[in-house]
Chain A
Amino acid sequence: MAQIIKERLDKFVLSAKDRPKAEFSEIGLVGCGRVGQQIAILIAKRGMNIIFVELNKAKIEQAFREIEEELDRQISHWGLTQSEKRAILSRIRGTTDYKELKNCDLVIETVLAKTRGQALEFHEEILTKIEQNVSRNTIIATNSATLSITEMASKLKYPDRCITMHISTASREATLVEVARSIYTSEETCRNVRKFVILLGKDYIRVAESTGLVSVRVFAPIINEACDILMESVASIENIDFAARKSMLLPLGPFELADKIGIDKIVRWLDNMYDEFGEKRYKASPILRRLLRAGFLGRKTGRGFYFYDNKGHKTGVAYKHVITPPEE
C-alpha cells in the first residue's frame, strides 16, 4: 500500500470568514443509570460524542456493561447492526471527574436523589458542579420531569443556560422530548435545545414549567389507579394490563409500564406531584410503597408486579408479595 500523506484541513480555507460553531459535537451526562444509558445510546446513535460522569469506576463499568447489553438486545430485535453497535460504543466515554465535561456543548443530568427530602439540594449541587467545570455557553439541562428548574437553577451564576429537557425513555421507540424553560432561561438556550432535539430525530414539544410536565402527569396516576383497582380485587394484575392494552391499544399495561420505568421512579414522580398539587390522585398507592420498600423495583431488579429473567423477559406474575393477605 502506498504511503498516505496527512494534512491539517484548516490550512485549506477559501476565505477567513467566521465559521459557525458546531453546536453539538460533545454531550455530557451526569448519571448513567438506566435512563442515562438510554439517552447516551440515542445521542451516540446520531453521531455525537458522549462523556458521562459516574460516582466511581465500578459504576462506570456497570454502565458500559448495561449499555452493551441494551445494544445487544436491540440487535436481537433487529433494530441495530453489529457495526452500528461498535460505532455507538466508540463514541461513549465514562469518567468520575466533572472536569472532563469542559468541552461539552450540552450537559444533561439524569440522577435520582436517594431520598425525596434531599432531591432539590442534591440537584442544585450537581448543577453547580457542572457549571463550575463548563464554559459559559454550555447548556445545562435536567431530565427531571417533576423538579422545578427555576428552583434548581436559581443558585447558579448563569441560570439563563438552564432548562428542563425530559427525554421519554419508557420505551426504545418513544420519541417525545418535553422542553420547559425556567423564569431565567434565555431564548437562545430554548432555540438551541430545540435544534438539539431535532438533531436527535425526536419530537419536540414546549411545555410550561409544571411538575410532571405532560407525560408523567398523565401516566403516573394511571398506574396509581391500576393499583387501586387491584386492591379492590376488581381484576388480576394480568387482566388489568390486558384490559388497558386491548381497550386503549396501549403497547404496555400500567403494571408492565411501572415495572419497565422502575417503581422507585414512579413513586418519586407521584411524591413530587403530591407535594406540588396536594391531590389524592397523586398519592402513591400502598402497593407501590410496599414494592419500593422491599426493593422490588421492576424489571431492573428482576421483580416488581411481575418476575423477570436476567434478559428482562417476563417469567410470571408476582402475586404473593404484591397483594396476598398474610396467612395464619
Chain B
Amino acid sequence: MKILVLNSGSSSIKFQLIDTQTHQVLAKGVAERIGIKGSRIKYNRPNQPEVHFEGDILDHQIAIEYILTILKSEEYGVVKDLKEIEAVGHRVVHGGEKFKQSVLITDEVIKQIEIVSDLAPLHNPANLKGIYAISALLPQVPQVAVFDTAFHQTMPKHSYMYAIPYSLYNLYKIRRYGFHGTSHKYVSHKAAEFLNVPYEKQKIISLHLGNGASAAAIKFGESVDTSMGMTPLEGLIMGTRSGDLDVGAFVYILRKEQITPQVGSILLNKHSGVLGISGISPDMREIEQAAADGNERAKLALDMYAYRVKKYIGAYTAAMNGLDILIFTGGIGENSVLIRKMVCDELSYLGIKLDYDKNQQAIGKQAIISSDDSQVKVLVIPTNEELMIALDTEKIVSNN
C-alpha cells in the first residue's frame, strides 16, 4: 500500500510517500516557510538529484496541493495517478488522555484533537491544518492520526501523576504524557524482532537521544514510564532543553533575572541543556570535539548528559524489576560511540557490558553492541517514525 505520511508544523510540512509492502521510501521532502515569503519545497527521490521548488506557499492546503502535484508530475513524479495513494498518515503531537492508539480520522476525532490542542498549542493546530487540507484535496482517501503520546498511555497512574493537588489534574489534566511514542514503539518492536525474542516478555529501556531526548521503560510490550512529562521539557538533558529541574530554582531565576514566565520558558527550552552548560553548541558532535580539545565546560556537558541518562536507566530497571534490552536511537543514540560508552560504563551491577569494538563499528546502523556475556542486550536501532506511521496507517485502514 502506498501511504503518504505528513508531519505538519506551524510553517513547514515534512512528507514521505512510503510503500508499506517493501518499506521503501518512494519520495520525501519538506515544504518550508509556509505563509512566509521565500517558501520552497525540497524534494528527494532515491538515486535522483534533489529538487528545490521555489515560489509562494500561502497556507498548508496549498503546500499539500503542490506536494500532490509534484508526486504525480511527469518530470518528478513517483505515482501515475493520485488514486495510487491509498491512505494518509498524520503525525499528531498530543493526543491527551483521549487517544491511546492511532485512529482513523473522523469528524468526531478532529473535534477531540481540537479539544486537546490546548495542551500543545504550538503543535496540534498545525497538525490539524494538514488534516483539513487532505480532507479538502483528497476527500475520499482515509486518514489516520498517529499520536506522539499514544504509546505512553499504558503508563500506570502512579507513574504519570504529579504530586500536586489532585484538583489540578481534574481541572486541567495536568499529568505526565510523554512524547517520542512512535519512535519508542518502533525501535522496541524492531529490537525484539532483531533478537528474535517475544516482545511481550521483554523488559526494555529505549533511549531516544536526538535533538530532544527521552527514555522509556517498556515492560512486557507496554510503556510503563517515560522521562518527558506534560511537555517535552522534563527528563533527560537535551540540546537546548534543561530536562529535570527544581521548580523552586525556576521561580528563583524568574525573580533574580526579572523575567516573565514566558521568557523563563524560552530560557529552559532554548538556552539550556548541552548548549547552556557548554556555551558552545547544542550539537553533540561539536561538544565531543571541544571536549577532546580540552574544553572543560564541554567535558562537563558530556558528563552531565551521560550521567542523567544513566540515572534513568537505573530508575527504570528498578521500576521494571529487571532489564533485558537497552536500545539507543535518535541522532546521538545512533551515532555517538562516546555517549553510548559513557552511559554504559560502570553499569555492570545491572548486567550491562559493552563490547567496545562493536560499539565502535555501530554508527547509524542496526547492531548489537553488548558483549556476548552481557546479561542485558544493548542495541543500536535507527528510528523510523515515518515508517511506523505508515505501518500503523495501513493496519487501521485495512481493518476498516
Contacts and interface: CB of A to CB of B under 8 A. Distances in A.
A327 interface: no
Interface stretch (A1-9, A122-130, A235-243, A295-303): A1-9
B274 interface: no
B69 A13 contact: yes
A79 interface: yes
B267 interface: yes
Interface stretch (A17-25, A141-149, A205-213, A272-280): A17-25
B183 to A, nearest CB: 25
A81 interface: yes
B73 A22 contact: no
Contact of B270 (A5, A9, A49, A81): A81
B11 A47 contact: yes
Interface stretch (B56-64, B206-214, B229-237, B379-387): B56-64
B12 to A, nearest CB: 11
Nearest to A173: B260
Interface string A33-59: 000000000000001110000000000
Given A2-B50, A3-B49, A14-B65, A9 B40 contact: yes
Interface residues of A, number: 27
Contact of A9 (B35, B53, B266, B271): B53
A12 B56 contact: no
B11 A10 contact: no
Contacts of A173: 260, 262-263
A13 B50 CA distance: 20
Contacts of B257: 77-78
Interface string B283-314: 00000000000000000000000000000000
A78 B271 contact: yes
A12 B267 contact: no
Contacts of B240: 81
B98 interface: no
B50 A5 contact: yes
Nearest to A26: B37
B364 interface: no
Contacts of A48: 36
B68 interface: yes
A47 B35 contact: yes
A13 B65 contact: yes
Contacts of A7: 51-54, 76
Interface string A284-302: 0000000000000000000
A26 B57 CA distance: 15
A2 B264 contact: no
B48 to A, nearest CB: 9
Contacts of B54: 6-9
Contacts of B53: 7-9, 12
Contacts of A9: 39-41, 53-57, 66
Main secondary structure of the interface of A (DSSP, over half): loop
Nearest to A103: B37
B259 interface: yes
Nearest to B50: A4
Interface string A146-185: 0000000000000000000000000001000000000000
A4 B36 CA distance: 22
Given A9-B66, A79-B263, A25 B51 contact: no
A173 B260 CA distance: 8
Given A5-B52, A7-B54, A47-B35, A79 B66 contact: no
B52 A4 contact: yes
Nearest to B58: A22
A48 B260 CA distance: 25
B104 interface: no
B211 to A, nearest CB: 14
B8 to A, nearest CB: 16
Which one of A21, A26, A81 has the greatest number of beta carbons of chain B within 10 Å?
A: A81
B78 interface: no
Contacts of B1: none
B115 interface: no
Contacts of A14: 65, 68-69, 137
Contact of A19 (B40, B58, B271): B58
B55 A20 contact: no
A77 to B, nearest CB: 6
A8 B263 contact: no
Given A9-B57, A19-B62, A20-B59, A77 B52 contact: no
A7 B54 CA distance: 6
B267 A78 contact: yes
A47 B38 CA distance: 10
Given A12-B70, A78-B266, 13 more contacts: A4-B50, A5-B50, A5-B51, A6-B51, A7-B52, A8-B53, A9-B55, A9-B57, A12-B66, A14-B137, A48-B36, A78-B267, A81-B271
- Which 5 pairs of residues, A with B, have the shortest CB-CB distance? A9-B55, A78-B267, A12-B69, A47-B36, A9-B53
Interface of B: 11, 33, 35-37, 39-41, 49-59, 62, 65-66, 68-70, 73, 76, 137, 240, 257, 259-260, 262-264, 266-267, 270-271
18 contacts: A2-B49, A2-B50, A3-B49, A4-B49, A4-B50, A4-B52, A6-B52, A7-B52, A7-B54, A8-B54, A9-B40, A12-B73, A13-B66, A20-B59, A47-B11, A47-B35, A173-B260, A173-B262
